[in-house]
Structure 1
Amino acid sequence: MTTSPTIAPERSSQVTPKKYPNYKVIVLDDDFNTFQHVQNCLVKYIPNMTSDRAWELTNQVHYEGQAIVWVGPQEQAELYHQQLSRAGLTMAPLEAA
């Protein structure tokens, strides 16, 4: 009695890398932070934030109720969120982008 060899199914040779999701850092409007304070915090804590861009975002927070001030990897998003929150800004919870 002879047995034939078992043939394993072919595996796909393509591996699709799965990227980690980005997270959004969102500042919310409130009644107690001044424009100057929000702008200063954005320049201080968000990398590569220019003074002009910080003013644009501060105006967006005021007139639209919120602004996404940074998008990127979760660990960095958590750091910036924590720093802005500790500086007194009103923050939305982190959310995946």
Structure 2
Amino acid sequence: TAQPRALPPLPAGRGAAVTVSAHAGIWMAPTAPGPGGGVLDRPTVVPGRDSEFDLTPAKKKKKPRNYRVILHNDDNNRREYVVQVLLKVIDGMTMDDAIQVMSEAHQYGKAVCIVCPQPDAEGYCESLRSQGLISSIEPDGGKDD
């Protein structure tokens, strides 16, 4: 029977030699002496960094910032019309919500219609304006009303 032969040892600190069975042509996995086998080397690049020389903290993915769609009071549109436009333009707005937003804008000068990602907020704002209402957007969590 053919005896397994040992290949030359790996460079220092790299584990034990790999054995080869001449009879079956099987490569044996490298093992370290003692129980438990070898230990894998640590990767040189930390996950979240571009290279081993990149010392900036790992970048976290930011959630898109939300924006408030603001309805401003005006003296040109009747309250009933404002409620109709809010129901037509703002997705998911109920009659009670529309009346509340209209009343708040009338009483305080402005009211938040909806809080949503910036592209949606811009679309709602433009739709309200196209119906003759005064609206704007601002970052959520920014300045207080």
TM-score by length of 2: 0.56
In the aligned structure 1, how far is the partner of 2:110 from the partner of 2:99? 13
Structure 2 counterpart SS, 1:67: strand
**Residue matched to 1:11:** 46
Cα-to-partner distance string for 1:28-73 (whole Å, 9 max, x where unaligned): 0111111101100110000000011100111000001100101111
2:103 maps to what in 1? 59
Q: Which residue of 1 aligns with 2:134?
A: 90
Q: Which runs of 4+ in 1 moved over 4 A?
A: 12-15
How does 1:37-48 map onto structure 2 within 5 Å?
37-48=81-92
Structure with the larger RCO, 1 or 2 (CA within 8 Å, 6+ apart): 1
> Aligned-pair RMSD on alpha carbons?
1.9
In structure 1, distance between residues paired with 2:129 and 2:59 = 40
Q: Distance in 2 between matches of 1:90 and 1:81?
A: 8
Bigger proportion of residues as helix: 1
Q: Residue 35 of structure 1 aligns to which amino acid in structure 2?
A: R
Following superposition, the deviation at residue 26 of structure 1 comes to 0.2
Partner of 1:26: 70
Which structure has the greater CA radius of gyration?
2
